[in-house]
Structure 1
Amino acid sequence: MRASRWRRSLVAVAAAGLLGFGTSACTSGDDPPKPAPLPTESPSPTGSSSEAPPSLPADAGGSSTRAAKAFARHFVDLVNYASATGDVEAINAVASDSCRVCRGMADGIQDVYSKGGHLEGDGWRVLGTKVLSGGRENERAISLTLLVSSQRRYEKPNSEPIVSDEIRGILDIYMRSTENSWTISRLVQS
Protein backbone atom coordinates (compact mmCIF):
# COMPACT_ATOMS: atom_id res chain seq x y z
CA MET A 1 0.00 0.00 0.00
CA ARG A 2 2.78 2.46 0.94
CA ALA A 3 4.72 1.77 -2.28
CA SER A 4 1.55 2.26 -4.30
CA ARG A 5 0.85 5.61 -2.60
CA TRP A 6 4.47 6.66 -3.23
CA ARG A 7 4.22 5.80 -6.93
CA ARG A 8 0.81 7.52 -7.34
CA SER A 9 2.12 10.64 -5.62
CA LEU A 10 5.23 10.74 -7.76
CA VAL A 11 3.38 10.09 -10.98
CA ALA A 12 0.79 12.73 -10.14
CA VAL A 13 3.36 15.33 -9.22
CA ALA A 14 5.54 14.67 -12.24
CA ALA A 15 2.53 14.57 -14.56
CA ALA A 16 1.41 17.91 -13.23
CA GLY A 17 4.91 19.24 -13.75
CA LEU A 18 5.34 20.04 -10.09
CA LEU A 19 8.21 19.14 -7.83
CA GLY A 20 8.00 15.41 -8.36
CA PHE A 21 10.85 13.08 -7.75
CA GLY A 22 10.53 12.04 -11.27
CA THR A 23 9.33 8.98 -12.95
CA SER A 24 10.73 7.16 -15.87
CA ALA A 25 9.53 8.02 -19.31
CA CYS A 26 7.10 5.13 -18.85
CA THR A 27 4.42 5.57 -16.24
CA SER A 28 1.25 3.66 -15.58
CA GLY A 29 -1.73 4.31 -17.78
CA ASP A 30 -3.88 5.16 -14.77
CA ASP A 31 -5.28 8.64 -14.49
CA PRO A 32 -3.10 10.31 -11.87
CA PRO A 33 -4.75 11.67 -8.75
CA LYS A 34 -4.89 15.40 -8.16
CA PRO A 35 -1.25 16.46 -7.84
CA ALA A 36 0.25 17.52 -4.55
CA PRO A 37 3.44 19.50 -5.07
CA LEU A 38 6.55 18.81 -3.10
CA PRO A 39 8.20 21.26 -0.71
CA THR A 40 11.47 23.06 -0.33
CA GLU A 41 14.30 21.80 1.84
CA SER A 42 15.33 25.24 3.00
CA PRO A 43 12.27 27.38 2.46
CA SER A 44 12.62 31.09 2.07
CA PRO A 45 10.65 32.94 4.70
CA THR A 46 9.42 35.32 2.05
CA GLY A 47 9.78 33.30 -1.15
CA SER A 48 11.79 36.21 -2.47
CA SER A 49 13.25 35.79 -5.94
CA SER A 50 16.06 38.20 -5.02
CA GLU A 51 17.93 35.22 -3.55
CA ALA A 52 20.58 33.62 -5.71
CA PRO A 53 20.23 29.97 -6.64
CA PRO A 54 22.58 27.57 -4.86
CA SER A 55 26.08 27.52 -6.32
CA LEU A 56 27.60 24.31 -7.57
CA PRO A 57 29.70 22.94 -4.71
CA ALA A 58 33.40 22.52 -5.42
CA ASP A 59 33.22 18.78 -4.76
CA ALA A 60 30.70 18.39 -7.61
CA GLY A 61 33.35 19.32 -10.20
CA GLY A 62 34.90 16.58 -12.30
CA SER A 63 33.57 13.20 -13.35
CA SER A 64 34.28 11.06 -10.29
CA THR A 65 31.70 9.13 -8.30
CA ARG A 66 32.21 11.56 -5.43
CA ALA A 67 31.49 14.48 -7.77
CA ALA A 68 28.36 12.76 -9.11
CA LYS A 69 27.03 12.25 -5.56
CA ALA A 70 27.72 15.89 -4.72
CA PHE A 71 25.93 17.02 -7.89
CA ALA A 72 22.90 14.84 -7.10
CA ARG A 73 22.63 16.55 -3.70
CA HIS A 74 23.06 19.90 -5.44
CA PHE A 75 20.13 19.09 -7.73
CA VAL A 76 17.94 18.62 -4.63
CA ASP A 77 19.08 22.09 -3.49
CA LEU A 78 18.08 23.50 -6.90
CA VAL A 79 14.62 21.93 -6.65
CA ASN A 80 14.20 23.31 -3.14
CA TYR A 81 15.31 26.76 -4.25
CA ALA A 82 12.92 26.73 -7.22
CA SER A 83 9.96 25.71 -5.11
CA ALA A 84 10.69 28.47 -2.59
CA THR A 85 11.17 31.21 -5.17
CA GLY A 86 9.54 30.19 -8.44
CA ASP A 87 12.90 30.67 -10.18
CA VAL A 88 13.40 27.53 -12.31
CA GLU A 89 16.30 28.76 -14.42
CA ALA A 90 18.89 26.70 -12.50
CA ILE A 91 16.88 23.48 -12.95
CA ASN A 92 16.55 24.13 -16.67
CA ALA A 93 20.28 24.88 -16.90
CA VAL A 94 21.26 21.41 -15.61
CA ALA A 95 18.51 19.42 -17.36
CA SER A 96 19.08 17.96 -20.80
CA ASP A 97 16.37 18.39 -23.39
CA SER A 98 15.63 14.67 -23.00
CA CYS A 99 14.81 14.95 -19.27
CA ARG A 100 11.04 15.31 -19.54
CA VAL A 101 10.54 15.00 -15.78
CA CYS A 102 13.04 17.82 -15.14
CA ARG A 103 11.24 20.06 -17.62
CA GLY A 104 7.84 19.09 -16.23
CA MET A 105 8.92 19.99 -12.71
CA ALA A 106 10.23 23.36 -13.83
CA ASP A 107 7.11 24.10 -15.89
CA GLY A 108 4.83 23.16 -12.98
CA ILE A 109 6.65 25.39 -10.51
CA GLN A 110 6.66 28.25 -12.98
CA ASP A 111 2.94 27.78 -13.61
CA VAL A 112 2.07 28.08 -9.90
CA TYR A 113 4.14 31.24 -9.45
CA SER A 114 2.98 32.82 -12.74
CA LYS A 115 -0.60 32.74 -11.39
CA GLY A 116 0.49 34.54 -8.22
CA GLY A 117 0.53 31.32 -6.22
CA HIS A 118 3.35 29.85 -4.19
CA LEU A 119 4.62 26.69 -2.49
CA GLU A 120 5.35 26.23 1.21
CA GLY A 121 7.00 23.37 3.03
CA ASP A 122 10.17 22.01 4.56
CA GLY A 123 11.46 20.50 1.37
CA TRP A 124 13.30 17.51 0.07
CA ARG A 125 15.92 16.07 2.38
CA VAL A 126 18.53 13.57 1.25
CA LEU A 127 18.66 10.63 3.64
CA GLY A 128 21.22 8.61 1.67
CA THR A 129 23.04 8.17 -1.62
CA LYS A 130 24.01 5.05 -3.53
CA VAL A 131 25.89 4.54 -6.79
CA LEU A 132 23.96 2.55 -9.38
CA SER A 133 25.42 0.48 -12.17
CA GLY A 134 23.89 -0.10 -15.55
CA GLY A 135 23.54 3.46 -16.82
CA ARG A 136 23.94 4.32 -20.47
CA GLU A 137 27.37 4.95 -21.97
CA ASN A 138 29.18 7.92 -20.37
CA GLU A 139 26.41 8.23 -17.80
CA ARG A 140 26.60 8.13 -13.99
CA ALA A 141 23.62 7.04 -11.93
CA ILE A 142 23.09 8.05 -8.31
CA SER A 143 20.17 6.83 -6.24
CA LEU A 144 18.93 9.21 -3.56
CA THR A 145 16.77 8.16 -0.65
CA LEU A 146 14.62 11.22 0.00
CA LEU A 147 12.22 12.49 2.60
CA VAL A 148 9.76 14.96 1.14
CA SER A 149 7.92 16.79 3.88
CA SER A 150 4.31 17.85 3.69
CA GLN A 151 3.78 20.79 1.36
CA ARG A 152 1.11 23.38 0.79
CA ARG A 153 0.46 24.62 -2.74
CA TYR A 154 -1.45 27.86 -3.14
CA GLU A 155 -2.64 27.97 -6.75
CA LYS A 156 -3.44 31.71 -6.64
CA PRO A 157 -3.16 34.54 -4.14
CA ASN A 158 -5.56 34.00 -1.24
CA SER A 159 -6.55 30.50 -2.39
CA GLU A 160 -6.96 27.58 -0.03
CA PRO A 161 -3.87 25.36 -0.03
CA ILE A 162 -3.66 21.91 -1.52
CA VAL A 163 -1.78 19.90 1.08
CA SER A 164 0.40 16.88 0.35
CA ASP A 165 1.48 14.21 2.82
CA GLU A 166 5.07 13.55 3.77
CA ILE A 167 6.59 11.01 1.40
CA ARG A 168 9.74 8.89 1.64
CA GLY A 169 11.13 7.33 -1.51
CA ILE A 170 13.96 6.83 -3.93
CA LEU A 171 14.94 8.99 -6.89
CA ASP A 172 17.53 7.77 -9.37
CA ILE A 173 19.38 10.56 -11.15
CA TYR A 174 21.12 9.72 -14.42
CA MET A 175 23.66 12.34 -15.45
CA ARG A 176 26.58 13.06 -17.72
CA SER A 177 29.66 15.00 -16.78
CA THR A 178 30.18 18.18 -18.77
CA GLU A 179 33.16 20.51 -18.87
CA ASN A 180 32.26 22.42 -15.71
CA SER A 181 29.29 20.58 -14.22
CA TRP A 182 26.80 17.82 -14.92
CA THR A 183 23.72 17.49 -17.11
CA ILE A 184 20.78 15.40 -15.99
CA SER A 185 19.58 13.07 -18.71
CA ARG A 186 16.73 11.46 -16.78
CA LEU A 187 15.08 11.06 -13.39
CA VAL A 188 13.49 7.77 -12.38
CA GLN A 189 11.46 6.96 -9.29
CA SER A 190 12.39 3.50 -8.14
Structure 2
Amino acid sequence: MSVRLVGWAAVFASVVVLLGGCGGGARGEVSPSRDLASATPAAPERPVAAYGLSLAAADQFVRHYVDLMNYASQTGDSGPLLAASDAGCVGCKQYADIAVRTNASNGGLSGDYRERVSDVSELVRRSNGRLRGSAAVTVGRYTTKDSPAAAPVVSKAARYTEQVVLSPSKGNWVMFEIELEER
Protein backbone atom coordinates (compact mmCIF):
# COMPACT_ATOMS: atom_id res chain seq x y z
CA MET A 1 0.00 0.00 0.00
CA SER A 2 2.85 2.42 0.77
CA VAL A 3 4.30 1.69 -2.70
CA ARG A 4 0.97 2.82 -4.24
CA LEU A 5 0.99 6.05 -2.26
CA VAL A 6 4.59 6.76 -3.23
CA GLY A 7 3.68 6.01 -6.86
CA TRP A 8 0.69 8.38 -6.81
CA ALA A 9 2.82 11.04 -5.13
CA ALA A 10 5.38 10.76 -7.93
CA VAL A 11 2.66 10.99 -10.60
CA PHE A 12 1.15 14.02 -8.87
CA ALA A 13 4.54 15.73 -8.60
CA SER A 14 5.21 15.05 -12.32
CA VAL A 15 1.86 16.52 -13.33
CA VAL A 16 2.50 19.61 -11.20
CA VAL A 17 5.93 20.08 -12.80
CA LEU A 18 4.51 19.62 -16.30
CA LEU A 19 1.59 21.99 -15.70
CA GLY A 20 3.94 24.56 -14.22
CA GLY A 21 5.37 25.03 -17.72
CA CYS A 22 1.97 25.63 -19.31
CA GLY A 23 0.87 29.12 -20.14
CA GLY A 24 4.39 30.32 -20.85
CA GLY A 25 5.19 33.35 -22.95
CA ALA A 26 5.73 33.47 -26.70
CA ARG A 27 9.14 31.80 -26.39
CA GLY A 28 7.86 29.08 -24.06
CA GLU A 29 9.30 30.56 -20.88
CA VAL A 30 7.52 29.66 -17.67
CA SER A 31 5.26 32.35 -16.21
CA PRO A 32 5.76 33.03 -12.51
CA SER A 33 2.85 31.64 -10.56
CA ARG A 34 0.72 34.06 -8.58
CA ASP A 35 -0.34 33.28 -5.06
CA LEU A 36 -4.03 34.18 -5.24
CA ALA A 37 -4.45 34.02 -1.48
CA SER A 38 -1.94 36.82 -1.02
CA ALA A 39 -3.28 39.03 -3.83
CA THR A 40 -4.64 42.17 -2.18
CA PRO A 41 -7.39 44.06 -3.98
CA ALA A 42 -6.97 47.77 -4.56
CA ALA A 43 -8.70 50.11 -2.14
CA PRO A 44 -11.92 51.63 -3.49
CA GLU A 45 -11.37 55.05 -5.00
CA ARG A 46 -13.65 57.94 -4.08
CA PRO A 47 -16.29 58.18 -6.81
CA VAL A 48 -16.52 61.45 -8.72
CA ALA A 49 -20.01 62.00 -7.25
CA ALA A 50 -18.52 61.95 -3.72
CA TYR A 51 -16.32 65.02 -4.35
CA GLY A 52 -17.43 68.41 -3.09
CA LEU A 53 -19.49 69.64 -0.15
CA SER A 54 -23.04 69.23 -1.46
CA LEU A 55 -25.65 67.01 0.18
CA ALA A 56 -25.49 64.70 -2.86
CA ALA A 57 -21.70 64.42 -2.42
CA ALA A 58 -22.25 63.64 1.28
CA ASP A 59 -24.64 60.81 0.40
CA GLN A 60 -22.10 59.31 -2.01
CA PHE A 61 -19.25 59.83 0.46
CA VAL A 62 -21.08 57.86 3.18
CA ARG A 63 -21.58 54.99 0.72
CA HIS A 64 -17.91 55.20 -0.27
CA TYR A 65 -16.87 55.23 3.38
CA VAL A 66 -18.75 51.97 3.96
CA ASP A 67 -16.87 50.54 0.96
CA LEU A 68 -13.63 51.56 2.72
CA MET A 69 -14.84 49.83 5.90
CA ASN A 70 -15.49 46.68 3.86
CA TYR A 71 -12.04 46.95 2.27
CA ALA A 72 -10.43 47.21 5.73
CA SER A 73 -12.47 44.22 6.94
CA GLN A 74 -11.38 42.20 3.93
CA THR A 75 -7.69 43.09 3.88
CA GLY A 76 -6.75 44.42 7.32
CA ASP A 77 -5.49 47.61 5.61
CA SER A 78 -7.08 50.51 7.49
CA GLY A 79 -4.96 53.23 5.82
CA PRO A 80 -7.54 54.28 3.20
CA LEU A 81 -10.31 54.29 5.83
CA LEU A 82 -8.33 56.50 8.19
CA ALA A 83 -7.30 58.78 5.29
CA ALA A 84 -11.01 59.49 4.69
CA SER A 85 -11.56 60.16 8.43
CA ASP A 86 -11.01 63.20 10.62
CA ALA A 87 -7.95 62.72 12.85
CA GLY A 88 -10.15 62.92 15.95
CA CYS A 89 -12.79 60.39 14.83
CA VAL A 90 -13.01 57.91 17.70
CA GLY A 91 -15.45 55.50 16.01
CA CYS A 92 -13.30 55.48 12.86
CA LYS A 93 -10.20 54.49 14.83
CA GLN A 94 -12.12 51.83 16.76
CA TYR A 95 -13.36 50.25 13.53
CA ALA A 96 -9.89 50.47 11.97
CA ASP A 97 -8.29 48.79 14.99
CA ILE A 98 -10.81 45.95 14.88
CA ALA A 99 -10.31 45.48 11.12
CA VAL A 100 -6.52 45.30 11.51
CA ARG A 101 -6.87 42.66 14.23
CA THR A 102 -9.76 40.63 12.76
CA ASN A 103 -10.19 40.51 8.99
CA ALA A 104 -10.87 38.08 6.16
CA SER A 105 -7.26 38.14 5.03
CA ASN A 106 -6.00 36.70 8.34
CA GLY A 107 -8.92 34.26 8.71
CA GLY A 108 -10.72 36.30 11.35
CA LEU A 109 -13.80 36.98 9.18
CA SER A 110 -15.74 34.73 6.85
CA GLY A 111 -19.18 34.67 5.33
CA ASP A 112 -21.31 37.65 4.30
CA TYR A 113 -19.62 40.28 6.50
CA ARG A 114 -19.70 43.12 3.96
CA GLU A 115 -21.91 46.04 4.91
CA ARG A 116 -24.35 47.33 2.28
CA VAL A 117 -25.92 50.78 2.46
CA SER A 118 -29.56 50.79 1.40
CA ASP A 119 -30.23 54.46 2.25
CA VAL A 120 -28.49 57.59 3.48
CA SER A 121 -30.96 59.94 5.10
CA GLU A 122 -31.54 62.78 7.52
CA LEU A 123 -28.51 64.73 6.28
CA VAL A 124 -28.75 68.03 8.13
CA ARG A 125 -26.16 70.79 7.86
CA ARG A 126 -25.21 72.22 11.27
CA SER A 127 -24.11 75.79 11.98
CA ASN A 128 -20.51 74.56 12.41
CA GLY A 129 -20.48 73.36 8.78
CA ARG A 130 -20.74 69.68 9.66
CA LEU A 131 -23.45 67.32 8.47
CA ARG A 132 -25.27 64.88 10.68
CA GLY A 133 -27.18 61.98 9.20
CA SER A 134 -27.71 58.25 9.17
CA ALA A 135 -27.15 55.27 6.93
CA ALA A 136 -29.40 52.24 6.79
CA VAL A 137 -27.07 49.25 6.53
CA THR A 138 -27.53 45.51 6.07
CA VAL A 139 -25.03 42.76 6.70
CA GLY A 140 -25.38 39.03 6.10
CA ARG A 141 -24.56 36.06 8.29
CA TYR A 142 -20.86 35.91 9.06
CA THR A 143 -18.34 34.35 11.44
CA THR A 144 -15.58 36.03 13.44
CA LYS A 145 -12.56 34.59 15.21
CA ASP A 146 -10.36 36.82 17.36
CA SER A 147 -7.42 34.46 16.89
CA PRO A 148 -6.75 31.18 15.06
CA ALA A 149 -7.33 29.23 18.29
CA ALA A 150 -10.45 31.18 19.33
CA ALA A 151 -13.91 29.68 19.09
CA PRO A 152 -15.83 31.08 16.10
CA VAL A 153 -18.69 33.48 16.81
CA VAL A 154 -21.56 33.46 14.31
CA SER A 155 -23.49 36.68 13.74
CA LYS A 156 -26.93 36.61 12.15
CA ALA A 157 -27.91 38.75 9.18
CA ALA A 158 -29.03 42.16 10.42
CA ARG A 159 -30.28 45.60 9.48
CA TYR A 160 -29.21 48.59 11.51
CA THR A 161 -28.56 52.31 11.33
CA GLU A 162 -25.16 53.98 11.49
CA GLN A 163 -25.20 57.54 12.83
CA VAL A 164 -22.63 59.69 11.01
CA VAL A 165 -21.21 63.19 11.26
CA LEU A 166 -19.27 64.54 8.29
CA SER A 167 -16.84 67.43 8.37
CA PRO A 168 -15.58 69.58 5.50
CA SER A 169 -11.86 69.18 4.77
CA LYS A 170 -10.03 70.63 1.75
CA GLY A 171 -13.24 70.95 -0.25
CA ASN A 172 -14.56 67.43 0.44
CA TRP A 173 -16.35 65.54 3.20
CA VAL A 174 -14.47 63.37 5.69
CA MET A 175 -15.94 61.19 8.43
CA PHE A 176 -15.92 63.21 11.64
CA GLU A 177 -17.68 60.57 13.74
CA ILE A 178 -19.51 57.29 13.26
CA GLU A 179 -21.41 55.36 15.87
CA LEU A 180 -20.91 51.67 15.33
CA GLU A 181 -23.82 49.69 16.67
CA GLU A 182 -23.51 46.21 18.13
CA ARG A 183 -24.61 43.54 15.70
**TM-score after normalising by structure 2:** 0.69
- Going from structure 1 to structure 2, the CA distance change for 1:172 and 1:60 (only over 3 Å counts) comes to same
Report the Cα offset of residue 181 of structure 1. Answer: 3.4
1:80 to 64, 70, 86: 70
Q: Which residue of 1 aligns with 2:110?
A: 120
Deviates more, 1:101-110 or 1:150-159: 150-159
Letter in 1 for 2:109: L
Who is 1:154 aligned against?
A: 145
Identity %: 29
In 2, Cα distance between equivalents of 1:188 and 1:177: 19
Coordinate RMSD, CA, aligned? 2.5
> Is 1:141–2:132 an aligned residue pair?
yes
CA distance in 2, matches of 1:125, 1:94: 18
**Match status 1:163 vs 2:170:** no
Q: Which has the larger radius of gyration?
A: 2
Match of 2:41 in 1: 51
**Do the aligned partners of residues 152 and 136 (structure 1) sit closer, same or farther apart at CA in structure 2, a change above 3 Å counting?**
farther
Task: Choose the corresponding residue for 2:172, options 173, 176, 181.
Answer: 181
- CA drift of 1:127 comes to 1.4
User: CA offset at residue 120 of structure 1?
Assistant: 1.8
The aligned length equals 144
Greater RCO between the two (CA within 8 Å, min separation 6)?
1
Mean Cα deviation higher: 63-72 or 123-132 = 123-132
| Secondary structure in structure 2 of the residue aligned to 1:133 | strand
The equivalent of 1:10 in structure 2 is none
Match of 2:61 among 68, 71, 74: 71
Cα separation, partners in 2 of 1:88 and 1:132, compared to 1, 3 Å? same
- 5+ residue gaps, structure 2, are 1-35
Task: Give 3-state SS (helix, strand or coil) of 1:156's partner.
Answer: coil
Q: 1:134 to 1:59 in 2, by over 3 A?
A: closer
Structure 1 residue runs of 5 or longer lacking an equivalent are 1-45
| Contact 1:129 1:143 (8 Å CA) reproduced | yes
Q: Secondary structure at the match of 2:80?
A: helix
Is residue 142–residue 173 contact of structure 1 (8 Å, CA) maintained in 2? yes
State the secondary structure of the residue aligned to 1:63: coil
Of 58-67 and 177-186, more deviation after overlay is shown by: 177-186
Shift of 1:87: 0.9
> Structure 1 residues 182 and 153 mapped into 2: Cα distance closer, same or farther (>3 Å)?
same
